Amino acid sequence: MRLPAVRLVRLSRIPYTELLALQERWLRRLQAEPGTEAGALLLCEPAGPVYTSGLRGGLTPEETARLRALGAEVRTTGRGGLATFHGPGQLLCHPVLDLRRLGLRLRTHVAALEACAVRLCEFQGLSGARARPPPYTGVWLGERKVCAIGVRCGRHITSHGLALNCSTDLVWFDHIVPCGLVGTGVTSLSEELQRHVTVDEVISPFLEAFKETYKCTLISEDSSN
């Protein structure tokens, strides 16, 4: 049986707005010709600090002004969930996928993203990584979240995805209540492994986990397409 092909677009370190712009182009491409291709996997590392809020909000105007005063960008997005942080040292994965081509529903797509992050943690030697039921969506090491997940889906086509902390400066999270979860913490692969883990280091094992979990092949595509 032939596996569906997903386009792999690696963007290295770029401004968050550029990731959103490319995501929008892929959304239009899939929406214009639904069912003709599986879609794309967009990977990048944010070039600067960005706080984002989701469909459920998460940031008041006063909080937004305070965060911008710290030197961070603040953006409202169409993903699910509340406020979170993106910045250097973090792997952002935005799968823009036609779920019908992959035989998935939205719930199984979210579970697959969690499974990819858990598998990556296992590849790095962190066997305790686990997904938790809502409202604790994402991947956790003990009581600390290492990977946040927030997606959007319209007409069976997904956008947004996951943010995995590799060597992220976790102090940025102190200025918000990440994902609206009071009393929980945030961690990174570097923090857990007690060594510096770069985004580049984890991309190869993450791609292996993605292919394994989504049962697809990955075809590299130039980021300008």
How far is Cα 17 from Cα 23, in angstroms, rounded to an integer? 10
Question: What does the mean pLDDT of the chain come to?
Answer: 92
How far is Cα 169 from Cα 187, in angstroms, rounded to an integer? 10
Structure tokens at 105: 């529903």
Q: pLDDT at position 144, please?
A: 94
- How many other CB atoms are found less than 10 A from the CB of residue 23? 21
Residue 205 lies in a domain: yes
Residue 140 lies in a domain: yes
Distance of CA 122 to the CA centre of its chain: 18
One-letter amino acid identity for 75? Answer: R
Residue 58 lies in a domain: yes
Q: Which residue has the tokens 């081509």?
A: 101
Q: pLDDT at position 180, please?
A: 66
Count: domains in the chain: 1
Q: Which residue among 93, 166, 179, 216 is the active-site one? A: 179
Residue 196 lies in a domain: yes
**Local structure of 73: helix, strand or coil:** strand
Q: What is the pLDDT of residues 105-158, one digit of tens each?
A: 999 999 999 999 999 999 999 999 999 987 788 999 999 999 999 999 998 999
Residue 220 lies in a domain: no
**pTM of the full predicted structure?**
0.93
The parent domain of residue 112 ranges over 5-214
Residue 150 lies in a domain: yes
Look at 50-54, 78-82, 208-212 and tell me which has the smallest mean pLDDT: 78-82
Q: What is the pLDDT of residues 71-115, one digit of tens each?
A: 999 998 988 778 899 999 999 999 999 999 999 999 999 999 999
Residue 223 lies in a domain: no
Summarize the annotated binding site for substrate as residue ranges: 79-86, 148-150, 161-163
- CA gyration radius, the chain: 16
> Residue 111 contacts by C-beta under 8 Å, 6 or more apart in sequence?
131
Q: pLDDT at position 225, please?
A: 42
One-letter amino acid identity for 224? Answer: S
Decide if 179 is catalytic: yes
Q: pLDDT at position 181, please?
A: 67
Residue 224 confidence (pLDDT) above 60: no
Q: pLDDT at position 119, please?
A: 97
Phi first, then psi: give them for residue 30, nearest 5 degrees.
Answer: -75, -35
Q: What percent of the chain has pLDDT over 70?
A: 96
CA angle, residues 171, 83, 200, in degrees to nearest 5 = 60
Q: What percent of the chain has pLDDT over 90?
A: 80
Summarize the annotated binding site as residue ranges: 79-86, 148-150, 161-163
**Local structure of 216: helix, strand or coil:** coil
Residue 166 lies in a domain: yes
* CATH for 209: 3.30.930.10
Q: What is the pLDDT of residues 7-44, one digit of tens each?
A: 999 998 999 999 999 999 999 999 998 878 999 999 99
